[in-house]
A and B are shown apart, each in its own frame.
Chain A
Amino acid sequence: MRVLLRLLGFLGVHRWQVALAVVLGVVMMASNLGLLSVAAYLIAASALQYGLSQLTLSMFLVQIFGISRAAFRYLERLISHNVTFKLLSSLRTWLYGRLEPLYPARLLEHRTGDLLSRIVKDVEELENIYLRAFSPVVVAVAISTLTCIVLYVFDPLLAFVTLGFLALSGVGVPLLVSVLARRLGRRELELRAELNVQIVDGIQGVQDLLALGQASGQQRKIEDLGHKLGRVQKRMASITGLHSTLNDLTMNLAMLAILFLAIPLVNEGGIPGVYLAFLALLVLGSFEAVQPLGTAFQFLGRSLHAGERLFEVSDAEPQVTYPYEPLPPPRSHTLEFDRVSFRYGEDEAPVLTDVSFKVEPGSRVAIVGPSGSGKSTIASLALRFWDPTDGEVRLGGYSLPGYAEEDLRNAIGVAAQDTHLFNQTLRDNLLLARPAASDSEVESAVEKARLGEFVSSLPRGLDTPLGEQGLRLSGGERQRVAVARALLRDAPVLILDEPTANLDPSTEHELLAAVYEQTPGRATLIITHRLVHMERMDEILVLEAGRIVERGTHQTLLDNNGSYKRMIDVQNQLLLATV
């Protein structure tokens, strides 16, 4: 119920249009009622050879009702759909706006296929509430009242009996149906979302599935879900069948009952016989207003569940929140970790323990260490994707939580380890880093990231679409795109996460040289397991299992003869064995 009220609350902005739609709906249904019953009266009256003058009025009414029914239905639909789709569209935007701050901590528990299902399908599902569950209820009540008033004039008993049948069809059947379908609707949504998830996995993982011979396994999963969905839909179909049947039955039984009651009255002269046909058709016609409620309520459970699924995401509290009254943008750009400890969750092992370091503008700091030691986590903390469990990350002397998100982002340029390439052109993917960049700036970033040759090999150069997730690019090319983005961003703090893991040594060398050239004055943090160019670093931090075990310059670390020296030796062994 709370969900329903919240969902209806969104209608508030459009209340006048909603009210208009309701009025139009009532007029349309009333015309329908009028058309059928007056036509019946017309014929009966003609049979009694009433004077022509008396009949013209009803003839005229028949025409008027005929036209107004069609016209008002058209207008009513136009307005109600207009409002509904406007609402759905803004709901999507709103939901996306709520989703984004949740990344990453609160979103990782959801799968993107499922989120996609929520933002597209579940939002669409709400259409049912806005179009079929709200205004039709008001219209049904109005039309039922109108019918009963007319009947009351003839005989109170007729009115009460009809009211009973209308209630049966407009309240009893919907209730029955909504109880029967409640669990099914929920299940249907979940199955659909799961289907989405599995198909996303199947498509994006097709290469691994085929290589591992597991395509048929995934096919079976999807087939299975399809069958389950089919079973739910079959039961839904039986319920649909049931309520149309019950509706049809109540409607006709109501008419029968009215005949049964009215015939004696006609015999006794309580009601003129000429109105008998009128009464029968009036009753039949009034049911057209209450019948849509069955469908609406059958799917109400599903729609409410869709609403719940939306609120479930939108109500989540972001783990990282930004202040209402932020500090002014940082004026100096020293990135500083002060005794930072971090774990990803309560029951997770600590990933970083007591990490402290400082990257001053104009200096280069490298973080080296085995994979899984927490290097990329440091980058995530600097971007404030997460907040440290203990200690502080500071920029320009102030703790990160003091800054507005925008100021923080503007201060940091990052080349992530696994960057996402959007299904757009290469140029658009680069411009993401700085939309205002000129062509020559883009080209220079491309050149510096050693992508020049790659770009000229592309059929349309920078304007070549990269395709889904840029999957056609090799690992090395992707990484260089990430670096080009970071260079283009041109922010005071530069973080490069494994920029050269997939590159051959000569490209690696060229790329790093180009990066250093661009970085005087910037605070540069390089995360890597490739120990090259280390003599150009102002400080090297050796990270092992989340702790800094050694720090110093290349030379002092070599002299230390500790972990660093060992790592260098292993790397050289691998290389030296060559020549």
Chain B
Amino acid sequence: MAFGVLGAVATIAQMALLSKVVDRVFLDGESLGQVGTLLLLLLGAIVLRSGLLWLREISAQRGAIYVKSELRKQLFTHLMHLGPGYTKGERTGELVTTAVEGIERLDAYVGRYLPQMVLSALIPLLVAAYVLPFDWISAALLLVSAPAIPVLMVLVGSHAEKRMKRQWSSLSRMSAHFLDVLQGLSTIKAFGRGAAEREKVAKVSEDFRERTLEVLRYAFLSGFVLEFVATLSIALVAVALGVRLLIGSIAFAPAFLVLLLAPEFFRPLRELGVHRHTGMEGKAAAERIFEILDTPAPVSSGPAEVTSLGGRLEIELGDVEYTYPESGQPALSGINLTLPAGSCTALVGRSGAGKSTLVNLLMRFVDSEHGRISANGIPIADFPVEIWRENLALVPQRPYLFYGTVLENIRLARPEATREEVERAAELAGATEFIGRLPQGYDTGIGERGVRLSGGEAQRLAIARAFLKDAPMLIMDESTSSLDPESERLIGDALEVLMRDRTVLVIAHRLNTIYRADQIAVLDGGCLVETGTHAELIQSGGPYARLVDTYNRTPA
């Protein structure tokens, strides 16, 4: 910004010299030799002014670039803290647009608009202060007309700002729509919705165009008003000068200088108008960015002292209750359950009973507000989240596979693992055979979200991750549903090995997984209705027994 002001000083000097040269040649008839020094000084001012301009450009951008990359990092880190509970309710395309395009837009706000605000106040004052001593009339004319510009700009701008927000949300909507559609192309095609979708895409892009033009119309209008006032007042100053020259109340040199300086007086204000538009775009994006950053994370990190739990893990849930923020009734309540170290607990219940919620609590994707969950007697909330999760291996129902090779995908569970360890894990998960069939084996790219794998193959990679992670506690959410009985039996033995000496929680629908558990916990409507072994529960004739009964009566 200092460069901006210095640049303005150099400009004033340049204009003063120019007017002097023209004056001497024009009125005094001086020759090239006589104005030579002045011309040299003029050259000096010109070079200085250009140099300062360069410095100003660079310094403005540097600051903005730093701000952007810091903010992007913070935003993404915070999204990770917010976790799956938050992102499932948002639109990925919108979040991505905010994190990439939104942050880029801050450029204009931070790098251009904010500094320009200051400059547009300082430089006109500087110019006016310079003109005032020798031509107070023009100075007054300029100073009177100048405030009209910001006032008009704000008047027009306040309408534009509302529309700017609409434009931003329209852009977000468009991106979210495109991403959703791109990821769902197979479904769209399978149902022959191609033509209908094209229309929808056209509608969404048209909406964005209209919103953009709406904003631009205001921006141009405000630009027009600004130009109009500026040119009008320059013209006014020029005409007034002409008249005063005629009646001889001002000399040529100062009059010409004022004429040269008048556009410089308005230049920063005109630039403000230009940057204001892009700056407001940045502001609309910034609001969304800070809205995300201000969303409180669902879990807080505990004090960092507790680091390790040793090899075995006993989990105890006491009176645990959880209600999703936007939902009225608790998804889980009054849960009292112990998962003894080295034992296997099967969690049973119909869909919506709260099984996944319990997993989310154990994984600390969310924290319960009532009751306590402790591991070996220490509340899990006391651990830093990352440290806690090191103790758990999760095999989700729909594992997310990253674009990359088979090797990279398994290795994600333990990045420092050697290739041999990865191969061993794959073997235990029964994945060796299909990996062997891939064109480049472990180094075959599996495409986005594992598109080139069959459902069962993807599940086996997720199981291989769990083998590789080798954590004291294992949570499996329907992890063998896509496997045929043969493969299930094959890896069943390996899973048995994996489960040994570990605390295991399995969510299962199939009896064959359930009956082997040391303990079966039956959930219904968020409450724990029964716990016990298969034999005990069958004997007691409760909900579990009834469930088994229906299973057995179902023809296989």
Contacts and interface: CB of A to CB of B under 8 A. Distances in A.
A19 interface: no
A16 interface: no
B69 A223 contact: yes
Given A202-B76, A213-B389, A219-B77, A66 B83 contact: no
A174 to B, nearest CB: 17
Nearest to A47: B252
Given A267-B31, A273-B26, A206 B83 contact: yes
B183 A469 contact: yes
Interface string A86-122: 1011101100110110011001100111011101110
B554 A508 contact: yes
A433 B457 contact: no
B50 A276 contact: no
B88 A267 contact: no
B14 A202 contact: no
Interface string B455-494: 1110000000100010000000010011111111100100
Nearest to B86: A206
Contacts of B68: 226, 230
A468 interface: yes
A237 B62 contact: yes
A234 B65 contact: yes
A414 B190 CA distance: 7
Contacts of A18: none
A525 to B, nearest CB: 14
**Interface footprint category on A:** 35 or more
A82 B215 CA distance: 12
A505 interface: yes
A231 to B, nearest CB: 9
Contacts of B47: 249
B50 A249 contact: yes
- Greatest chain A CB density within 10 A among B26, B90, B534 is at B26
B234 A35 contact: yes
B51 A245 contact: yes
Chain B contact surface mostly: helix
B256 A44 contact: yes
A383 B235 CA distance: 72
Contacts of B97: 120
Contacts of B399: 208
A376 B182 CA distance: 21
A145 interface: no
A370 interface: yes
Interface stretch (B114-122, B147-155, B197-205, B339-347): B197-205
A211 B246 contact: no
A311 interface: no
A7 interface: no
Interface in A258-286: 259-260, 263-264, 266-267, 273-274, 276-277, 280-281
Contact of A567 (B171, B259, B447, B485): B485
Interface string B65-109: 110110011001101100110011111110111011100100000
A571 interface: yes
Contacts of A116: 93, 96, 175, 178-179, 182
Contact of B509 (A112, A405, A476): A476
A214 interface: yes
9 smallest A-B Cβ distances: which pairs? A371-B456, A409-B192, A237-B61, A241-B57, A420-B184, A529-B484, A46-B245, A66-B231, A70-B227
25 contacts: A43-B259, A49-B245, A67-B231, A70-B231, A78-B216, A78-B217, A96-B201, A104-B186, A108-B451, A200-B96, A201-B402, A202-B79, A202-B80, A203-B95, A204-B449, A207-B396, A211-B389, A256-B46, A417-B455, A419-B187, A432-B188, A432-B193, A501-B481, A508-B554, A578-B552
Given A49-B246, A219-B80, A226-B68, 8 more contacts: A104-B186, A208-B399, A245-B50, A266-B25, A266-B29, A375-B454, A498-B455, A570-B489
